[in-house]
Chain A
């Protein structure tokens, strides 16, 4: 069965960077894009970007350009999202999700809580 398993919760200081991993199983990793979506406490969903797991090409929301790096390691079917220059507003649950076909997301990771605190 398709599974996306994310790394554990993180607590970071303002200005630091965080990397969240997303390990895929149960499907051909390079056959689908991996999307990243975040959700601030009590708020809605915000698309951050995607990575083509085959080519490594990324598309980032303008808001995150310059601060987010998305990479993948096909040998271990894992995608990564690094967010730098953390501020308190970056406190959120970060999700990875598999693209079903055109941008709708059929499988999601369990989420990773990133807390920015001094």
Chain B
């Protein structure tokens, strides 16, 4: 199975900060990587697919980049509503797997 390792697992930042979350895959996954946001008690929400394509309706402060085995999600200017847990997901090879999550706290 492909392991996805997210770092950090927890971060605390101020409103307006630039935040970067990393997702490392145990083997190459081409561009089959997505990012999700999950607010407490809610279902995950697709933010980015194919590494860097913003899902419709997602604010442009979110962006994704990377290739091969290392990928990043960046929030350019953190907003209070961004308090959530973020997951990466690979859909290159079965079984589909998710990263362990990064919980973002607003200072």
Q: Are A44 and B101 in contact (CB under 8 A)?
A: yes
Q: Which residues in window 32-62 of A have CB below 8 A to B?
A: 35, 37, 44-47, 59, 61-62
Q: Are B87 and A44 in contact (CB under 8 A)?
A: yes
The segment out of A10-18, A66-74, A78-86, A103-111 that lies at the interface is A103-111
Residue of B nearest to A98 (CB): B46
Chain B interface, DSSP helix/strand/loop, else mixed? loop
Q: Are B101 and A108 in contact (CB under 8 A)?
A: no
Give Cα A10 to B50, complex, Å: 35
The segment out of B20-28, B70-78, B90-98 that lies at the interface is B90-98
Residue of A nearest to B87 (CB): A45
Q: Are B32 and A105 in contact (CB under 8 A)?
A: no
Residues from chain A with Cβ under 8 Å of B32 in the complex: 102-103
Give Cα A97 to B46, complex, Å: 11
Q: Are B100 and A44 in contact (CB under 8 A)?
A: yes
Residues from chain A with Cβ under 8 Å of B89 in the complex: 45, 103-105
Q: Are A47 and B96 in contact (CB under 8 A)?
A: yes
Residues from chain B with Cβ under 8 Å of A63 in the complex: 95
Residues from chain A with Cβ under 8 Å of B44 in the complex: 37, 45, 95, 97, 105, 108
Please name the 9 residue pairs, one residue from A and one from B, whose CB atoms are nearest each other, closest first: A103-B91, A108-B43, A104-B34, A104-B49, A47-B96, A45-B98, A61-B95, A106-B46, A44-B101
Interface residues, chain A, with chain B CB atoms under 8 Å away: 35, 37, 44-47, 59, 61-63, 95, 97, 100-106, 108-111
- Ordered by A's residue number, 30 sampled pairs between the chains whose C-beta atoms are within 8 Å are A37-B44, A44-B87, A44-B98, A44-B99, A45-B36, A45-B87, A45-B98, A46-B98, A47-B96, A47-B98, A59-B94, A61-B96, A62-B95, A95-B43, A95-B44, A97-B44, A101-B49, A102-B32, A102-B91, A103-B96, A104-B46, A104-B49, A104-B89, A105-B34, A105-B89, A106-B49, A106-B55, A108-B44, A109-B43, A111-B43
